[in-house]
Structure 1
Amino acid sequence: MTAPRTPILAGNWKMNHGPSQAARFFADFLPLVQPADDRSVVFFPPAVSFAAAREAVQGRPDVRLGVQNVHWEEGGAFTGELSVAMAADAGAELVLVGHSERRHVFGETVDETVRKVGAVLRGGLVPVLCVGETIEERRADRAEAVVVEQLRPVLASISAEQLPTLVIAYEPVWAIGTGVTATPADAAAMHAAVRRTLAEVYGAQAAEGVPVLYGGSVKPDNAAELMSQPGVDGVLVGGASLDPAGFAAIVAAAG
C-alpha cells in the first residue's frame, strides 16, 4: 500500500512583499501556525525578499522556502536570472516551474519548462511544475488535452528515479487572481487526469507518490472543500497567501 501523501500548503507571493514586509508577515504568521510534521508549509517570496524570509523562519523546519523562477543554465550573461545553484545556496528547497504567468505573460515555452525542470532536478531541488488551461481552452472542451500536452514533454525528460522529487500544481489560468474558483468536482476531475497521465508513463504505483496541488483563487472559505476532494494533495495560493491570518486559516484547513 502507498503511504498517504503529505499535504502541501504553498504560498506564491509573486511580485509582492519586499524584505521588510516579509519580516512583518512571518512575525504575524508563525505564532498562528504550530509546527507539525504531517504537512509542509511552503513560501515562494520574491528573490529580493528571500534572505529576510529565511532569517524569519529560522528554527521552524516545518516552513520551507522556494524561488519563483530559475534559468536552466548554470551561470553566464543572463541579466536578471537566477541559477539553481544560486537558489540552493540561498536556502531554497523548491522552485516553481511553468507558472501560468511565466507561460502567458513572459512567453515561457514548453521546451524552456522542460529545461528548467531538468536543471532543478540536477541541482537537487524540488520542481513544482504548474499546468493549466485558459478559459478559451476550457470552453472548447480542451482542458484535459491542454494539461496533458503540458505534462507529457516534461515527464518524458524525467526518469522513474527522479519522479518522487516532482510536485505538480494544477492551476486553471481562468481562476488565478479572478475570484473565480474551479468547482471541487472540476478540481477532482483534472487532478484525476494528471494522475492518469503519470500512471500511463510511470505506472500506477509510482504515480500515486506524486503530490498534485490545486491553485486558483484559493481562500480560507473554500480551502477545506477543495482539499477534501480525491487526489487534491494541497494548494498553491496566490493573493490569499499575502495575509498572515488568511493563510494561517488555509493551513488549518488541511486538518
Structure 2
Amino acid sequence: MRKPLVMGNWKLNGSIGMAKDLVAGLRSELSTEANCGIAIAPPTVYLDFVKHQLGGSNILLGAQDVGVHLSGAYTGEVSATMLKEIGVTHVIIGHSERRTYHKESDEFIAQKFGVLKEAGLVPVLCIGETEAENEAGQTQAVCARQIDAVINALGVQAFNGAVIAYEPVWAIGTGKSATPAQAQAVHKFIRDHIAKQDAAVAKQVIIQYGGSVNDKNAAELFTQPDIDGALVGGASLKADAFAAIVRAAEQAKK
C-alpha cells in the first residue's frame, strides 16, 4: 500500500526566526510515529539551518529546485549532490512557477528528474494545466505530455520511488481547489497513463494533489483512492494548519 506524502513548499518565504518557530511548532504538533511521509522545502539559504532544527524528528528535508549540472561555471546554481550532502531527500521540480517565470520546458524538467534519480534523491514532479487549458478540455493531454517527457528521456522505470504532484495551475494560490471528484479523475488518469507502460510502476508511484490545499478541504481530498497526500503551499507556513493536513492524510489511509 502506498504511504501518502504531505510536503510543504515554503516558496520565497521565511527568515531564520520564522524557520525556527515553524519547525518547533511542527515538532510539537506532529507525532514521531506518523503514518504518512512528511517533508518541508524551505528556501535554499535556510536548508542547512532547517536540517539542524529537524534533528531527531521524522520530518524530511526537501528543496524547491535543482540545477542540471553537478559542478562547473554555472553561477547561482545548486547541484543535486550539494543538496544531498546537506541532508535533502526530496526535490520539487517542474513547479508551474518555474515553468512560467523561468520558461522551463518539459524536456529541461525531465533532465532535472534524471539528475535527481542519478543522485539518489526523490523527484517531486509537478504537472498540471492552466485555466485556459482546463476550459479547453486539455487537462489530460497536458498532464500526459508532461509525464511523457520523463518517460521518453528516462523510461517509465524512472517513476519507481518518485512522486508526482498534480497541481492545476488555476488552483495554486488562488483559493480555488479542484473538487475531490475532479482531482480524483485526473489522478486516476495519471496512474492509468503510466500503467499503459508498466502497471507495477503505476501502482507504487505517489501522486499528490496540490493547489490551495488547506486544513478545511484536505480530509475529503485524501479519501479519494488515487490521491496520496498533498504538496502544500500557503498552509505549510502555519504549523497548526500543516499539521492538520498531515493528520487528515494519516486518518484517510488507515
Q: TM-score, normalised by structure 2?
A: 0.96
1:159, distance to aligned residue in structure 2 (A)? 4.0
Q: Are 1:24 and 2:55 counterparts?
A: no
Partner of 1:10: 7
Name the aligned partner's letter for residue 225 of structure 1: E
Partner of 2:200: 205
Name the aligned partner's letter for residue 8 of structure 2: G
Runs of 4+ in 1 over 4 A off after TM superposition: none
Q: Percent identity?
A: 42
1:205, distance to aligned residue in structure 2 (A)? 2.5
2:248 alignment partner, one of 232, 249, 253: 253
Structure 2 CA distance, aligned partners of 1:181 and 1:160?
Answer: 29
1:248, distance to aligned residue in structure 2 (A)? 0.9
1:187-202 aligned at under 5 Å gives the runs 187-202=183-198
| Contact 1:172–1:216, Cα closer than 8 Å, also in 2 | yes
Alignment RMSD, CA only? 1.1
2:232 alignment partner, one of 234, 237, 251: 237
Q: Are 1:71 and 2:67 counterparts?
A: yes
Query: For structure 1, which runs of at least 5 residues remain unmatched after alignment?
Result: none
Partner of 1:217: 212
1:161, distance to aligned residue in structure 2 (A)? 4.7
Partner of 2:137: 141
1:235, distance to aligned residue in structure 2 (A)? 0.3
Partner of 2:111: 115
Query: For structure 2, which runs of at least 5 residues remain unmatched after alignment?
Result: none
Name the aligned partner's letter for residue 117 of structure 1: F
User: Do the aligned partners of residues 128 and 29 (structure 1) sit closer, same or farther apart at CA in structure 2, a change above 3 Å counting?
Assistant: same
Number of residue pairs matched by the alignment? 250
| Contact 2:156–2:194, Cα closer than 8 Å, also in 1 | no
**Cα deviations by residue, 1:68-111 (Å, 9 ceiling, x for unpaired):** 01111111222221100110011100111101100012111111
Name the aligned partner's letter for residue 178 of structure 2: A
**Cα deviations by residue, 1:189-227 (Å, 9 ceiling, x for unpaired):** 10011101110122x222101010000000100000011
| Contact 2:71–2:79, Cα closer than 8 Å, also in 1 | yes
Structure 1 CA distance, aligned partners of 2:16 and 2:194?
Answer: 38
2:93 alignment partner, one of 94, 97, 109: 97
Aligned partner of residue 14 in structure 2, secondary structure: coil
Q: TM-score, normalised by structure 1?
A: 0.95
1:34 alignment partner, one of 27, 31, 34: 31
